[in-house]
Amino acid sequence: MPLDHGLLSKYLNLPTHNLNVKFMNLLELDFSDQREIIEMKLNGWSHATILAHLDIDGMTSSALLSKILRNKNIRFRVYPTNYEDFNKPINYKNVIILDLEVKEPYSANILDKNAIVIDHHNINPIDITLVNPKQKYPYYLPTSGHIFALYKEALEKEDWKAAIGIISDAGGKEWKEFIEKVSNYYNLKIGKDEYFFDSDLGKMAEKLNSLITLHGRRGALKVFFKLSNSKSIEELEKDKEIQSNYEKASKILNEIKSDFEKNKVEEGRVLIYNIDSKYKRFSSTFSTSTAFENKNKVLAIYYKLNDEFYRFNIRSQVENLDLREFLKINTNMIVQGGGHKGAVGVTVKENMVKEFINSLINYVNGKNQS
């Protein structure tokens, strides 16, 4: 049952990342209508392929949903993916897409595949079953939290996993009440950071993420299995593989950090850094952590993807600035990409890199003066 376009477009301009809202408890959200849409679609499925974003939110979402699929005796495989290979042909039916924005040109690829899309990025009016928290609430809710709220009875004991996914996607600030409840219930440290990055749950998100930064898709699958099979956060804390990968990744991140301090370029409120492409797997993680250490700045980290393209990770903590608006102004330079108000990833043609950076500098610094 596809949602109708008129209904979808009504939600297209809902505000997100609205930090003035009163803290909401995740358990108070009602997604029963969306759950029914998913249930109707799943009815009769014997197998499924989960295409999930290659990040902690994507893997946590997969781990949570896998429990629902197991309960229904639906066999499944998980395929961690990113936007770069999302446009390859999909040759199978019964696809569940988690934490990935399905838009042109990818949507053509997925139509007629009997697909379910559960995502929290922008809502795109395409004709496939789709549930997005923005259809119901004007809050920023990562997919892990959305799936938990969709199936809160069945996933009652998985609340700490949902919290890890939410924090990893920088949703801790909005879901403060939920994160604190979960932390207190399991006797976990809360820390001082408003996004909970320094809490026990946030640190676990960071530790798991090191498997992805070091091993890409293979690491992501490990995260999926570890999360699926763990009954408690202590089990993950004791995991030697997580610990050794975390130590290794931390060492590399420190090397990148000292190079960043030496070679970053500052233009008003914009920080630009060209990261060595041998560290490209660290680019997204490094961008996010560095952005939180540079409040009121826009951080653009880029690297050479191949002979033709460069990849940019842009992070913003500047209020009243929407990076998606910047992307809209520059669609002519962007090959592909997207994201949120405060975090985007885009691919730009090599000969456009300078122009793209200048455009970002003008956009951000122009905004400040107005």
101 binds Mn ion (CB under 5 A): no
Beta bridge partners of 274: 302
Q: x/- binding map, residues 20-59, to Mn ion, per CB under 5 A?
A: -------------------------------------x--
Q: Which of residues 63, 106, 137, 142 is near Mn ion by CB under 5 A?
A: 142
Residue 342 beta carbon to Mn ion: minimum distance, rounded to whole angstroms? 13
Q: State which residue, 147 or 270, has the beta carbon closest to Mn ion.
A: 147
Q: Which of residues 38, 99, 161, 228 is near Mn ion by CB under 5 A?
A: 99
Q: Angle formed by the axes of helices 200-229 and 240-263, to 10°?
A: 130
The number of C-alpha atoms within 13 Å of 71 and in the hemisphere containing its C-beta is: 12
Q: State which residue, 171 or 219, has the beta carbon closest to Mn ion.
A: 171
Size of the site for Mn ion (CB under 5 A): 4
Local structure of residue 48 (DSSP, 8 states): E
Contact 263, 273 (CB under 8 A): yes
Tell me how far apart the alpha carbons of residues 366 and 193 are, in angstroms, rounded to a whole number: 30
Q: Which of 286, 271, 136, 135 is nearest to 210 (CA)?
A: 286
Residue 98 beta carbon to Mn ion: minimum distance, rounded to whole angstroms? 9
Binding region for Mn ion (CB under 5 A) out of 3-11, 141-149, 153-161, 311-319: 141-149
Q: Which of residues 159, 169, 174, 206 is near Mn ion by CB under 5 A?
A: 169
Mark residue 305 as left, alpha or beta (left: phi above 0; alpha: psi -120 to 50; beta: remaining). alpha
Dump strand ranges (E) for 45-187. 47-53, 75-81, 95-98, 115-118, 129-131
Residue 249 beta carbon to Mn ion: minimum distance, rounded to whole angstroms? 20
- Which parts of this chain interact with Mn ion (CB under 5 A)? 57, 99, 142, 169
